[in-house]
Amino acid sequence: MASMFSRLSAMSLLLGLVACGAPGVNNTDATESKGVKVVTTFLPITLFTEAVAGDCADVTALIPPNLGPHDFQATPSDLTDLSGANVLVKNGLGMEEFLDDLISSADNKDLVVIDSSTGVKTIKAAGGGHHDDHHDDHHDDHHADEHHDHGHGHSHGEYDPHIWLDPVRAAQQVENIRDGLVQADPSCAEGYKSNAEQFTAKLNELNTEFTAKLKPYNGKTFVAFHDFATYFANRYSLKAEFLVDLPEMNPSPADLQRVAAQVKKSGLKALLSEPQEGNRSFNALAKDLGVNIVEFNPLETGSAESAKVPGTYFEVMRSNVNNLVKAIGD
């Protein structure tokens, strides 16, 4: 009897440690005991949410990391994930156009939706269109007219959604995710706050690093494949041009002529392609202009392994800046 009592006491102690998210205890058990299931949309939102959630919640990506939001097509299993989730975290600003219909179909009345773009200062997109009302007072008028409308019918919305590529705005997204998770799961509030504080500190350090590294290139222009780099360029006093508005578009002859003129004018040494596009769209143009192609990864896609590691953000962004310096040259 004493032996049985000892075993029961040990099991009770272990369950208590699991419920508190004690170090060394399997994370899956911790999240099962808490019952907090968080679904994210695509790669940067998954990385930020993983960083904030830590051992407090189970994070599942709705969009496989090898697919971007533009390529996503929902399946019955996605509906199942949303139906059983407590929290959904999205980028917002029209990046996940499919989401409203999917949420409606999931019919999860208790689902808490965290829009990580809430309150983040935005810049108008090239084409314009729908936007969320809570961004009305937060757009950046200084850069609202910097983009030209290249006639592609930009479908993201009125405001550019690529806020995660600016480390300062990314820190705001992390804080929004923190606040949403604290509200949805107060039992692990201190964990969410501590995790977010550590991650935002690293984002602020990254911004300081990039500010110093890119200062010699203030005012310089670079050319990316699609229209994703406005916030990044704005943060570091650079000018971003692009070949097409959206990654699935094919460039028109006018697009090619416009970019060719910009490259010649700016003296660029390379064009910035994307991993999911390869070099197919830039090969002929780069050859004609006598420039190279380097990669600037907008973090819309990645490997399954990289999606599990929040530090992926810092690794990719540092690589982007190194390649950008090569492209701009002296």
H or E stretch covering 107: none
The CA distance from 174 to 118, in Å, is 11
- The pTM assigned to this predicted structure is 0.81
What are 18's two structure tokens?
């699991």
Domain 27-208 shares a fold with domain 209-328 = yes
Instruction: Give the up-direction half-sphere exposure of residue 269: CA atoms within 13 A in the CB hemisphere.
Output: 8
CA distances from 29 to 22, 34, 128, 149 (A): 11, 9, 46, 51
User: What's the pLDDT score for residue 280?
Assistant: 67
- CATH code for the domain defined by 209-328: 3.40.50.1980
Nearest to 239 by CA among 221, 227, 253, 214: 221
Alpha helices in the chain (DSSP H): 2-19, 27-34, 43-53, 76-83, 99-106, 167-184, 189-214, 230-235, 253-266, 283-289, 312-328
Tens place of pLDDT for every residue, the chain, 330 residues? 333 333 323 333 333 333 333 333 334 344 344 569 999 999 999 999 999 999 999 999 999 999 989 889 999 999 999 999 999 999 999 999 999 999 999 999 999 999 999 999 999 987 533 333 334 434 444 343 333 334 333 355 789 999 999 999 999 999 999 999 999 999 999 999 999 999 999 999 999 999 999 999 999 999 988 889 999 999 999 999 988 877 767 788 898 899 899 898 888 999 988 886 655 667 778 888 999 989 999 999 999 999 999 999 999 999 999 999 999 986
The per-residue pLDDT for range 68-114, each reduced to its tens digit, is: 898 899 999 999 999 999 999 999 999 999 999 999 999 999 999 99
Query: Where along the chain do its domains lie?
Result: 27-208, 209-328
Percent of the chain that is helix, strand, coil (3-state, to 5): 50, 15, 40
The per-residue pLDDT for range 193-220, each reduced to its tens digit, is: 999 999 999 999 999 999 999 999 999 9
The CA distance from 323 to 271, in Å, is 10
The CA distance from 182 to 53, in Å, is 10
- CATH code for the domain defined by 27-208: 3.40.50.1980
The CA distance from 142 to 40, in Å, is 32
The CA distance from 213 to 74, in Å, is 41
